Amino acid sequence: MAPPLLQLQDIALTFGGTPLIESAELSVSPGERACLVGRNGSGKSTLLKIAAGLVEADRGKRFVQPGATVRYLAQEPDLSAFPTTLAFVEAGLGPGDDPYRARYLLEQTGLTGEEDPKSLSGGEARRAALAQTLAPAPDILLLDEPTNHLDLPAIEWLESELKSLRSAMVLISHDRRFLESLSQATIWLDRGITRRMERGFAHFESWRDEVLEQEELERHKLDRKLAAEADWLRYGVTARRKRNVRRLANLHAMRQERRDQKRAVGTVSMTLTEAEQSGTLVVEAEKISKAYGERPIVADLSLRILRGDRLGIIGPNGAGKTTLINLLTGVIEPDQGRVRLGSNLQRVTLDQRRASLDPNATVAETLTGGRGDTVVIGGQAKHVIGYMKDFLFSPEQARTPVGVLSGGERNRLMLARALAQPSNFLVLDEPTNDLDLETLDLLEEMITDYAGTVILVSHDRDFLDRTVGSVLVSEGEGRWLEYAGGYTDMVAQRGQGVQARTVEKETRPKNSERPAPAPAAAASKRKLSFNEQHDLKTLPKRMSEIEAKIAKVQEILADHELYSRDLARFQKATDALTQLQGELHAAEERWLELEMLREELEA
């Protein structure tokens, strides 16, 4: 076997008095593809930074073969020192690297190379960082969540690109299908230590369960032995007469061993509050169309969603998936056709922007709505601390502001708040972002067992296969077609996966042959105006403020005796609610229009 290119031995690191990593090992041989898995907060990203030489461990050794090149993809890259994205990517090239590969990778990730890094979104900056990491074809690639912010066409392209490289890789990802496709070995970071399996991620879950079952068996044996020795200490005749010192010392040693044992980290406990049953028909769309300017988002779509259906919506970034959801749920009106919603619907929406989370509110206030210290789940009151524990929040985090939570923690908080609300209609827009694999498992089970109706938008192919009964796929030019089954079934019927929204790059000549743009064409291009940029930036905050006001008015109207006790206040609150809902609708329409315009101009 070839000597390792990169090796970590007995790595330990402590943050704030609590050991994060106690004894971790990592070895990467030439051409090897390993995935690094573990719970959110277990230290995966930190261990990858130690491997990249960006963080120094408290203890342990790091070895890199002389002359081996290591490239690390961070979750939050910094491009501020570069004038364009192309300059950023080219800065990562070595003397012997192909300069054309930088532009090729940028185009494959949906960028032109001329973007100003100061105006990039988080997803665009991450795609530029991905291009910079892959451009030199290094000996070792350390990739931390490389599929974040990528749509399905980009994820499948990235899989193919990584398979074509000779580089050794260590991957962190929540995308099961991505890990199964690429990994040859699995490294599990659990409770500060690493375990290694010389098989890919497809075998991880069965291996993990075997390890945990064996641990539980050993713990049970130790508990029984402890009970027997304690019984001897209390009741043994010999013990009372002369106190066998060695046996007593062994008992104390076993007790210390039992105290030192770490149990596996708890799992999320999801309990969904279900409302009364809805009518048989949930959504009926009849020949609906929606366009922004010259660009069709939905064209002549007819669709029926019945109670209990699980519909997945699939398409590349910019296809209009969120707009389609808003059409189907009545948030926005179609330009043509009509949408009819069923009776007795109680809808709960989980939005991918997490815009409805107040960054200044605490975790407890977010879950209770700022009222008291209990959460009502399934008609029963539960203390907020107990409900937080169900979603792996510690009691100390009750007063933590939402703004300082990690992405995974904010998504768990969104789930916790959404699932506490009574519903019979769930709309989930990218619910899997930043969730660890165990939490994904439980979310899948929850959706499977849910008695109501589910509309799900996701780029996670495995999650779609496990949860939905049919998928609605963007075919381009506003056309959407429904296929029975999950993502894999759709590919089998369609003959191909989801294609990128714009395809002119495929027919565009190479850089050396690219003609100069005609003056008229150049003049026809425009950027967002100052007012449009300002609205696009400020509207999400404005919508959050309106939603908060709506919640306060709804709290007033929740008083069933208000109408008979104070008719004037009831009428005032009703009028205010109508006005606020109109303002929110107008703000959402404006934001959607500007977002679609921005995507169109960038494309």
Q: Residue 316, annotated ligand binder?
A: yes
Picking from 603, 582, 462, 524, the residue whose alpha carbon sits closest to that of residue 147 is 462
38 is in an annotated binding site: yes
Q: List all residues 6 or more positions away from 508 whose beta carbon is below 8 Å from its beta carbon.
A: 514
User: For residue 464, which of 446, 485, 450 has the smallest C-alpha distance?
Assistant: 485
122 is annotated as contributing to ligand binding: no
- Closest of 417, 443, 475 to residue 269, by C-alpha: 443
> Does residue 67 have a known ligand-binding role?
no
- The answer to whether residues 24 and 47 touch, using CB atoms and an 8 Å cutoff, is yes
Report residue 340 as tokens. 């009819």
State the sign of the Cα–Cα–Cα–Cα dihedral 311, 470, 496, 504: negative
- The answer on whether 370 is annotated among ligand-binding residues is no
SS3 call for 337: strand
Distances 91 to 86, 126, 309 between C-alpha atoms, Å: 8, 16, 50
* Three-state DSSP class for residue 295: strand
On whether 43 is known to bind a ligand per the annotation, the reply is yes
Helix axes 152-164, 100-108, angle to 10 degrees: 150
84 in a labelled binding site: no
Number of C-beta neighbours around residue 11 at 10 A = 25
Round to whole Å and give the CA distance between 132 and 564.
66
β-bridge partners, 274: 423
- Kindly give, in sequence order, each residue whose CB lies less than 8 Å from that of residue 433, ignoring residues fewer than 6 positions away: 148, 352, 407, 411
Structure tokens at 115: 């973007």
Instruction: Find out whether 321 is annotated in a ligand binding site.
Output: yes
> By the 8 A CB rule, do 178 and 155 touch?
yes
Question: Residue 92, annotated ligand binder?
Answer: no
- Residue 320 is assigned to a ligand binding site: yes
Strand partners for 473? 314, 481
Q: Judge whether 200 is annotated as a binding position.
A: no
What does the alpha-carbon distance between residue 438 and residue 435 come to, in Å, rounded to a whole number? 8
315 in a known ligand binding site: yes
* Max CA pair span of the chain: 105
Is residue 192 annotated as involved in ligand binding? Answer: no
The position carrying tokens 């707009």 is: 323
Q: Has 45 been labeled as part of a binding site?
A: yes
Composition of the chain by helix, strand, coil, percent to 5: 45, 20, 35
Known binding residue 317? Answer is: yes
CA gap 268, 391 in Å, rounded = 5
Q: Binding site: what residues are annotated?
A: 38-45, 315-322
Q: Binding site for ATP: what residues are annotated?
A: 38-45, 315-322
